[in-house]
A and B are shown apart, each in its own frame.
Chain A
Amino acid sequence: MPKVTFTEPGGGRREINAPLGITLMEAARQHGVQGVVAQCGGACVCATCHVYVHPSWLAKLEPREEMEEGTLENAWEPRDNSRLSCQIQVTAELDGLEVTVPLRQQEG
């Protein structure tokens, strides 16, 4: 099972085993990773599962689709390496992935 490391808003590092076939958001939620709120449950409409992907991993991810782009635009402090974790499928290639959870999520 791929291992993914989340840096939580408090600065703590959480390494979790992310099952294949689900999304990074779901893996984070199952493990109770702090700050991954995922209010809409993966419908790409709330921007509350926003994470910053470690730059060295960006190229290994499928690029953002238009819906994700639009939703991310109004996430809390989006950056070039911002992704919605609900749009990232866990695959074997992502073993070792490192992401940082923003200090806050979208509050509308």
Chain B
Amino acid sequence: MISTILIVGGGQAGAQAIDTLRREGFGGRLVLIGDEPELPYQRPPLSKKYLSGEMPADRLVFRHRSFYDEHRIELKLGRQAVRLDAAARQVELADGEKLAYDRLLLCLGAESRRLTCPGAALPGVHYLRALADVAPIQAGFKPQARVVIIGGGYIGLETAATCRKMGCEVTVLEMADRVMNRVVAPSVSQYFAEEHRAHGVTVICDTRVVCLEGRERVEHVVCADGARHAADLVIVGVGAVATTELARAAGLACDNGIVVDEYCRTSDAAIYAAGDCTNHPSLRFGRRVRLESVDNAFEQAKTAALNLLDKPVAHDRVPWFWSDQFDSKLLIVGLSQDHDRQVLRGDPASRSFSVCYLKGRELLAVEAVNHSKDYMAARKLIAERALMHLDKLADSALGLKEAI
């Protein structure tokens, strides 16, 4: 008999798990523990419309407080879980409160990878992951404020676009030879780098930050080639690492994330995990992955909730991601790593195109720029392991679905 379910982590996954558990009829005690003080909220707008001030905080939250009351969810927000005793089935909070569980769901998320070079701890150096990170950045938004962004990935570029819109002078420093090099094709990198430059952002690739300098606060970002970039504000977006400490200390198997199977089960029979913190099998791609994605958090949490209630269902999804930068939308579906062929559909100069990744004729992934049709069609085709007709695929006048 499951009478108490604890969820640690109040992000996308934790919020979704609550929803599914109650909708599936779980009537027992349901407790959500989150170390942030706010009601569960969506993170994607933090680097975009929330940072720019277009979206107020009450539009970030998934549900208003009345929803939690109505569904009898005990919220323990602004409370950190500091210890997990798997043998005793108990979670201890920082203030000493101990909570017993029958089933535990860990939705611990991920945290920003920190810069470790000299000067990294100077005031004026920011990360962008949580709601509380936003106000200190906004405080630095003054016309012509010089913002240096370290890292040309999703977060770096989305933040660059927003800072530019707010009237700042923005420089993006990327270590690799092109922006978003780990996640997109060269043509897509080039498109977005040009978009940023056209909007007045300085994008510098192939550069390595060696230290940050400043007296009271950060004043310069210094690179290995000797370049010194004057900065009023530095925002670091150099990736994220899974949050696993609670699980690791409790003896759960961890390896670049909390190791779970396709049913979201950890190495302890009473403990499940979902979202960015997990290392899980991708059934479609036949290997283990750790994903930082809204979709994965959402779907894995749903799956975990069902399995928590002994309704066995496997997590079997094609991952997808998106990014909004200026007026362009990047949509990615699938995992491209095993491809042996790339096919470009459309002309980047038209501002709407896509790059297809194939292994033989099998479609593995698509990166679509301002092309929701190709992206949405690809979601189905990739899931179905569709074999594509290569000549038709290159003809962007044909729909993707017509190229099989």
Interface residues of A (CB under 8 A from B): 22, 26, 29-30, 32, 39-41, 43-47, 67, 69-71, 73-74, 106, 108
Task: List, in ascending order, chain A residues with CB within 8 A of B142's CB.
Answer: none
29 A-B pairs with CB atoms under 8 Å apart are A22-B59, A26-B59, A30-B63, A30-B64, A32-B70, A39-B294, A39-B298, A40-B322, A41-B45, A41-B294, A43-B322, A43-B324, A45-B320, A45-B322, A45-B331, A46-B295, A67-B329, A67-B372, A69-B373, A71-B376, A74-B377, A74-B379, A106-B376, A106-B379, A108-B295, A108-B333, A108-B379, A108-B380, A108-B383
Report A-chain residues with C-beta under 8 Å of the C-beta of B376. 47, 70-71, 73-74, 106
Additional 10 contacts, C-beta under 8 A, given A41-B45, A44-B372: A39-B298, A44-B329, A45-B372, A45-B375, A67-B329, A70-B372, A70-B375, A108-B295, A108-B317, A108-B383
Nearest-CB distance from B126 to chain A (Å)?
23
Residues in B254-285 with C-beta less than 8 Å from chain A = none
* Contact (Cβ within 8 A) A71 B383: no
**Measured between alpha carbons, how far is A69 from B371 in the docked complex, in Å?**
10
Inter-chain CA distance A87–B318, complex, in Å, is 25
Contact A70 B373 (CB under 8 A): yes
The answer on a CB contact under 8 Å between B42 and A41 is yes
Interface: B62 (CB within 8 A): yes
A-B contact count (CB 8 A): 65
Which partner residue on chain B sits nearest A30 by CB separation? B64
A32 touches B67 (CB 8 A): yes
In the bound assembly, the distance between CA atoms of A106 and B333 in angstroms comes to 14
- Which residues, 367 to 395 on B, are CB-close (under 8 Å) to A? 370-373, 375-377, 379-380, 383
Question: Which of B44, B317, B320, B379 is A41 in contact with, Cβ under 8 Å?
Answer: B44
> Which A residues touch B318, using CB under 8 A?
108
Q: Which residue of B lies closest to A29 (CB)?
A: B62
- Assembled-state Cα–Cα distance A43/B50 (Å): 13
Proximity string of chain B (56-76) to chain A, C-beta cutoff 8 Å, 1 when within and 0 when not = 000100111001001000000
Whose C-beta in chain A lies nearest to the C-beta of B371?
A70
Tell me how far the C-beta of B92 lies from the nearest C-beta in chain A, rounded to whole angstroms: 32
Whole-angstrom CA separation of A41 from B59 in the bound complex: 10
Chain B 307-344 per-residue mask, 1 if CB under 8 angstroms from chain A, else 0: 00000000001101010100001010100000000000
Please indicate the chain A residues that have their CB under 8 angstroms from the CB of B70 in the complex: 32
- Number of residues on chain B facing chain A (CB within 8 A): 30
Chain B residues whose CB sits within 8 angstroms of the CB of A71 once the complex forms: 372, 376
Interface of A is mostly: loop
Inside 8 A of B59's CB, which chain A residues have their CB?
A: 22, 26
Q: A46 vs B371: C-alpha distance in the bound complex, in angstroms?
A: 13
Q: Which residues of B contact A106 (CB under 8 A)?
A: 376, 379
Instruction: Give the docked Cα–Cα distance between A30 and B370 (Å).
Output: 29
Q: Would you give the shortest CB distance from A38 to chain B, in whole angstroms?
A: 9
Contact at B44–A43, with CB atoms within 8 Å?
yes
The complex places the Cα of A41 from the Cα of B379 at a distance, in Å, of 18
- Given known contacts A71-B372, A74-B376, A108-B380, A45 and B329 CB-to-CB distance under 8 angstroms: yes
Assembly CA distance A40 to B383 (angstroms): 19
Which residues of chain B in 31-81 are interfacial with respect to chain A, using CB atoms and an 8 Å cutoff? 42, 44-45, 59, 62-64, 67, 70
From residue A1, how far is it (CB to closest CB) to chain B in Å? Answer: 15
B residues near A108, Cβ cutoff 8 Å: 295, 317-318, 320, 333, 379-380, 383
In order of increasing CB-CB distance, the 9 nearest A-B pairs are A70-B372, A74-B376, A70-B373, A108-B379, A41-B42, A71-B372, A45-B322, A67-B372, A39-B298
A41 to B62, CA, bound (A): 9
List, in ascending order, chain B residues with CB within 8 A of A47's CB.
376
A108 vs chain B, min Cβ distance (A): 4
Which of B294, B317, B333, B373 is within 8 Å of A40, CB to CB? Answer: B294
Residues on B with beta carbons closer than 8 Å to the beta carbon of A67: 329, 370, 372
CA distance A58 to B56 in the complex (A): 29
Q: List B contacts of A22 (CB < 8 A).
A: 59
Q: Roughly how many angstroms separate A26 CA and B62 CA in the complex, as a whole number? A: 9
Tell me the bound Cα distance from A44 to B322 in angstroms: 10
Residue numbers in B under 8 Å from A32 (CB-CB) = 63, 67, 70
The docked-state distance in angstroms from the alpha carbon of A44 to that of B373 is 12
B329 neighbours in A (Cβ, 8 Å): 43-45, 67
Nearest-neighbour CB distance to chain A for B71, whole angstroms, equals: 8
B323's closest neighbor in chain A, by CB? Answer: A43
Q: What residue of chain A has the Cβ atom nearest to residue B401's Cβ?
A: A74
**In whole Å, how far is A97's beta carbon from the nearest beta carbon of chain B?**
20
Cβ–Cβ < 8 Å partners of B383 in chain A: 108
Tell me the smallest distance from the CB of A26 to a CB of chain B, in Å: 6
A48 — nearest CB in chain B belongs to which residue?
A: B298
Bound complex: CA of A30 vs CA of B42, how far in Å?
13
